[in-house]
Structure 1
Amino acid sequence: MLWVVAALVIYIFQLVMIVFLEHKHPSKTVAWLLISFCFPLIGFVLYYFVAQDYTARRRVRNNRYEDDLLGDIKRINKVTDLSSIKNESMRMQPRLFGLVSALSNIPVTGGNRTIVLTNGQETYNALIEGLKSAKHHIHMEFYIIRDDVIGRIIQELLIQKASEGVQVRVIADGVGSLELNQVYVSKLQQAGVEFHFFLPLAVSLFRRRLNYRNHRKIVVVDGRIGYVGGLNIGDEYAGKHEKLGFWRDTHLQIEGDAVYALQAVFLHDWSFASGQKLWQEEFFPLHQSKGDEQVKMISSGPDANLAATQELFFGALVSAQERIWMMTPYFVPDLSIRLALKTAAMSGIDVRIIIPYQSDSKIVDWAARSYLEELMKAGVKFFEYQKGFCHAKTLIIDQALACIGTANMDMRSFYWNFELNAVMFDRKTIHRLEADFSKDFDVSSELEYHHFTARPRKQRMMEAISRMLSPLL
């Protein structure tokens, strides 16, 4: 009998600890309480290794190093204020511009030329050409790098450039690229490529940071050309996934001052992953770009005091006056995003969201669908992409701004992943994304509210369970 009492006391202590430590995130608290209730001991062990607050345990950052990087960006960058914005629709929204400007220390940059890259083949072709042009350095960072056809093409190209004397540095996430074998990595390292995993699995467990992943996708070539967006390095992104087939994605190529921001984010991540604080003048060359587009890069992560990704999306949604068009593969919004979407739709704004018809994660798909009914009732229109799997993370607000980046519309991207998004104000870019959305709508089916509400009870039950767990997905 005594052991039963002792077990009960320990169990209650576990629950109290979870409530105490997670009081700032009620939805996360509920998810961990559910896991602990179903699996008392296992649940708390998982919580210990996975859920600890990153900011409470993070390594002290070298603020002087960050200040130096930001100082150099501000010194050589064509800083843009609201009066310099060419897009009249954006100039009419000073509050939105003020929010976007304040979300990071990196300023809105001018003198850029951007190219929207739609889908894998177009992106990889552009990326390969960019890598071939490297003379001084290649800085590359991906959540997933695979040892497959496209992975080996990139590998051989990096080895070739290293043999030419180009500095090549690569970061891969320690969990996202868990399947990447050591033979692949060793071949790069033996050729002179510097390679580091960001929070490898063993380190993540030891430091209790397993839940915090680097989801960024960054490539910088000679400090002149940059790439950011939704694609990783793997055959599935070129449409070769056995089950999902065609892979719909969006990436962005940038020339101009916004590349400084990509470089600074990479160097910060490199400092964390390798322990090296790098600085060379060639990393921040004066740009000769003939572009005149304004771009703002916004990085976010659990090491920051501000949830910049969540603030960006929320601020953009509540500022919309005519239109919100969004594509996201994982739709697990928090309360603020749901309220913003419902309020916009009920106000008569055209709110359309494209989500996958077939998902690569069943539990995430169930969680996403648990949010649809209340939003559809308010007037939000959901479209299921039918051509394959949609993985693009894109957003258009009115004619004012567009966003392409690495962040999904989910709580993982808001609070636990390291993410990077490009916010663009140029009408040409917005129109290009409009055209892409129009094509996507043509191959998508709109969900009908009355049909959706008639889904089986079993599916509703799975959605309810997944929704309680959604803050952890």
Structure 2
Amino acid sequence: MLWLLLVLIIFIFQTGTILLFEFRKPSKAVAWLFILFCFPLIGFVVYYFVAQDYQKRKVVRKAGSQLFREFRERLWAQTKVIENVEQMHNPHFKHQERLFNQLIRMSENPLTGCNRTRVLTNGEETFEAMLTAMEQAQHHIHVEFYIFRADEIGKKFQKVMIRKAREGVKVRFIVDGVGSYNLPYSFIRTCNEAGVEFHYFLPPFFATLDRRINYRNHRKIVVVDGTIGFVGGINVGDDYLGKYPKVGFWRDTHLQIEGDGVYFLQNVFLSDWKLASGERLMDVNLFPPHTCTGDEEVQILSSGPDQVWDTIQELCFGALTVAKKRIWITTPYFIPDPGIYEALKLAAVSGIDVKIIIPYQSDSKLVHLASLSYVQDLLEAGVEFYQYRKGFIHAKVVIVDDLLGSVGTANMDMRSFFYNFELTAVLFATSALKRLSADFVEDISNSSKIDLNVFRRRPRSQKIAEILTRMLSPLL
């Protein structure tokens, strides 16, 4: 009986620890308690290593904030900062003072007014634009991806980076240690020998042992000469060109920015570089003065352990709550937190046009099942779900009325909202919103609408699987 008492004491201690650290996020606590119940000892060990790392999160946040403050004065002096809602060109935004205040107060990055953007659809257009910009680099090239493969397109990027490094251009290259764990050492060595400075955000060997494994760098950034930048959903790999038979056609969205917004893409890269390499880059030439070539408003929002706020989640929630006509969302993984879930439900019940495009076939069975667990209740509230049939849809786009649209790296899931290092560009110009809307309508035409009555009749085994995976959804 003594050993039973000991087991009970250990179990109570483990349960109490999880409740103590996760009391602010009940859904996450429930998920970990479920794992602990199924795997009493192993579950707690996994929790210790991957679920919480508060001290390191504070250190990460402090490093990013210090770097930002050092550049802040220079950035503000060179940027057309939108300081009040009356300065917005978008006429639909004139009466959105509450949302405007949220945008400028919850992020260190301002809403900027001197930008020109280009929505890039799919891998071919995106890679061509990136490589063209990199070929024209004179001072520096900064490259950061979650996934970078040493395949055909990856080697094209490598060749350009090596050639520019040999020409004297400073090339800095970051990949995530988990997302790019299989990047060959020979590929990295070739880059280093040519003068390309390479760093893992979290080295793959240590990623399995380091408690920061739960904080993955999901950002995708390219900045060239501090004047042109790219952000969006596309990593570097042949699968993003539809060349992997198992995946097929790959539908994605990326964004090219010229103007003020590039400064803040640059600042995010420099913060990540500091965390990956330990080097604080203070070269003022990384933020060159530029001539205003556009009048589009753009705000760069980053979220993750380096931020005080869960900025991207809070943007989504704030935007959803002010919608009057439409909420259109494209996401490969749909695991909303309770706030987003309720906002979508209430919007649909109130008569707002809420449409969500998700994949028909996902690259993650668990995530796909968890996503489907949210569908029925939202369908009953009036949300329309569409499953993309042409291939795999990986775009991360949100459009709210004619107010704003976002293109970035964050999925509509709790991992992106609360754990990963993420990045999104918020667009306000009507021209950009029209392009995003046109792409959304095109994607709808390549999708099948989920019928509520048919969905209710899905197999019982699938319903059970959805329930089980939903319990794990805060961790997926």
Same fold (TM over 0.5): yes
Q: What is the rounded CA distance, in whole Å, between the counterparts of 1:206 and 1:72 in structure 2?
A: 39
Contact 2:122 2:252 in 1 (8 A): yes
Aligned to 2:5: 5
- Determine whether 1:345 maps to 2:348: yes
Q: How far off its partner does 1:106 sit?
A: 1.3
Q: 3-state SS of the aligned residue for 1:428? A: helix
Instruction: Give how far 1:66 is off.
Output: 2.0
1:460 aligns with 2:463: yes
CA drift of 1:197 comes to: 0.5
1:46-445 matches, within 5 Å, as 46-54=46-54, 58-59=58-59, 61-62=62-63, 63-81=65-83, 82-445=85-448
Counterpart of 1:23 in structure 2 is 23
- Secondary structure, counterpart of 1:59 in structure 2: helix
Structure 1 residue 4: Cα displacement: 2.9
Instruction: Encode CA deviations 1:241-282: one digit per residue, 9 max, x unaligned.
Output: 221200000000000010000000000110110000001121
The residue type paired with residue 22 of structure 1 is E
Q: Distance in 1 between matches of 2:56 and 2:88?
A: 39
Distance 2:437 2:71 in 1: 35
Does 377-386 or 81-90 show the bigger shift?
Answer: 81-90
CA contact (8 A) 1:146 1:234 kept: yes
Q: Structure 2 counterpart of 1:365, which letter?
A: H
Deviation of the 1:64 alpha carbon: 3.7
Q: Which moved more, 1:82-91 or 1:165-174?
A: 82-91
Residue 20 of structure 1 and its aligned partner are, at CA, apart by 1.4
Alpha-carbon deviation of 1:94?
Answer: 1.5
Instruction: Measure the CA separation in 2 of the matches of 1:452 and 1:54.
Output: 41
Question: Structure 1 residue 450 and structure 2 residue 426: aligned?
Answer: no
Which SS does the other structure have where 1:140 is aligned? strand
Runs (5+) with no aligned partner, structure 2: none
Once the two structures are superposed, what CA deviation does each residue of 1:285-314 show, in whole Å capped at 9, x if it has no partner? 111241111100011102322111110100
Secondary structure at 2:342's aligned position in 1? helix
Structure 2 counterpart of 1:80, which letter?
I
Contact kept in structure 2, 1:330 and 1:355, CA below 8 Å: yes
- Offset of 1:200 from its aligned partner? 2.0
Partner secondary structure for residue 209 of structure 1: helix
Structure 1 unaligned spans of 5+: none
Per the normalisation by structure 2, the TM-score is 0.97
Task: Return closer, same or farther for 1:230/1:52 CA change in 2, 3 Å cut-off.
Answer: same
Per the TM alignment, residue 101 of structure 1 is displaced from its structure 2 partner at its CA by 1.8
More divergent stretch after superposition (343-352 vs 194-203):
194-203
- Output one character per residue of 1:38-84: Cα deviation in whole Å (capped at 9) or x when no partner: 11111111111111134565426244432012222111101113212
Residue 224 to residue 303, structure 1, CA distance change in 2 (3 Å): closer
Tell me if structure 2 keeps the 8 A contact 1:395–1:402. Answer: yes
Q: Is the 8 A contact 2:93 2:403 kept in 1?
A: yes
- SS across alignment from 2:213: coil
Aligned partners of 2:57 and 2:305 also within 8 Å? no
What residue identity is the alignment partner of 1:69? F
Corresponding residue pairs, total? 473
What is the distance in 2 between the residues matched to 1:366 and 1:308?
27
Q: CA deviation at 1:392?
A: 0.3
CA–CA distance in 2 between the matches of 1:181 and 1:284?
33
Rounded to whole Å, the distance in 2 between the matches of 1:10 and 1:303 is 34
1:138 counterpart SS class: strand
CA drift of 1:205 comes to 4.6
Q: What is the TM-score when the length of structure 1 is the normalising length? A: 0.98
Deviation at 1:206, TM superposition (A): 4.5
Q: Distance in 1 between matches of 2:343 and 2:361?
A: 26
Amino acid paired to 1:253: Q
Deviations 1:83-125 (Å, cap 9, x if unpaired)? 1211101112121122122221111112111000000000001
C-alpha distance in structure 1 between counterparts of 2:57 and 2:323, whole Å: 38
Distance 1:408 1:36 in 2: 27
| 2:36 maps to 1:36 | yes
Mapped contact 1:132–1:157 kept (Cα < 8 A): yes
Task: Using the TM superposition, give the Cα deviation of residue 202 of structure 1 relative to its aligned residue in structure 2, in angstroms.
Answer: 3.9
Distance 1:290 1:318 in 2: 33
Q: What code does the residue aligned with 2:405 have?
A: A
Q: Is the 8 A contact 1:329 1:408 kept in 2?
A: yes
SS in structure 2 at match of 1:210: helix
Distance in structure 2 (CA, Å) of the matches to 1:300 and 1:54: 16
* 2:472 match: 469
Counterpart AA for 1:19: L
User: Would the aligned equivalents of 1:55 and 1:304 in 2 still touch at CA under 8 Å?
Assistant: no
Q: Percent identity?
A: 54
Contact 2:188 2:198 in 1 (8 A): yes
